[in-house]
């Protein structure tokens, strides 16, 4: 299949590469199908999460453990059931980034990460009941918190 990706232009993709979000993302519930596109081919630390339902919609996602090694999201039993998760090793977490000109002015949403079952490629945005995490958490200037 082909798409005109927001940050990458025209490209082909395999439908098996899509991540399906049955509930969409908060505020974007009608968009269900996303293609993760790494900005650098050797790492998944920073991704474009490109909607295939609307080519103009793409989110910047980051592996939260890159900057926040002590980050410890916990899935509820309902979340595990919704993701059809049978093994904790099958889960990957991503956080939505708001990137500004300076990294020190950029933020990530640690409060509502995207949890993805890598085995069945189903994802869900969850809200964590952890006061230490915020919706606009500053990215540490030195690369680690």
Cβ atoms of 123 and 117 within 8 Å: the answer is: yes
pLDDT for 102 equals: 79
Cβ atoms of 115 and 102 within 8 Å: the answer is: no
What does pLDDT average to over the chain?
93
CATH code for the domain of 73: 2.30.290.10
Domain annotation covers residue 143 = no
Nearest to 86 by CA among 118, 113, 128: 118
Count of domains for the chain: 1
Measured in whole angstroms, the distance separating CA 19 from the mean position of its chain's CA atoms is 10
| Bridging pattern class, strands 43-51 and 58-62 | antiparallel
**pTM of the model as a whole:** 0.91
pLDDT, tens digit, 9 for 90 and up, residues 57-74:
999 999 999 889 999 999
144: pLDDT strictly greater than 60: no
Domain with 88, as residue range(s), is 2-138
Domain annotation covers residue 145 = no
Residue located via tokens 């900005």: 39
**Rounded CA gap, 94 and 16, in Å?**
19
What letter does residue 70 receive in the DSSP assignment?
T
């Amino acid at each position: 299949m082909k798409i005109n990706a927001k940050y990458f232009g025209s490209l082909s993709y395999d439908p098996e590469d899509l991540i399906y979000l049955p509930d969409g993302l908060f505020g974007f519930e009608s968009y269900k199908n996303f293609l993760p596109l790494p900005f650098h081919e050797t790492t998944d630390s920073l991704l474009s999460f490109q909607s295939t339902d609307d080519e103009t919609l793409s989110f910047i996602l980051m592996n939260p453990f890159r900057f926040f090694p002590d980050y410890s999201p916990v899935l509820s039993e309902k979340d595990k059931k919704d993701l059809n998760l049978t093994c904790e090793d099958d889960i990957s977490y991503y956080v939505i980034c708001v990137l500004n000109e300076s990294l020190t002015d950029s933020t990530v949403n640690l409060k509502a990460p995207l949890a993805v079952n890598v085995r069945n490629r189903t994802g869900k945005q969850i809200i964590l009941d952890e006061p230490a995490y915020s919706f606009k958490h500053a990215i540490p200037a030195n690369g680690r918190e």
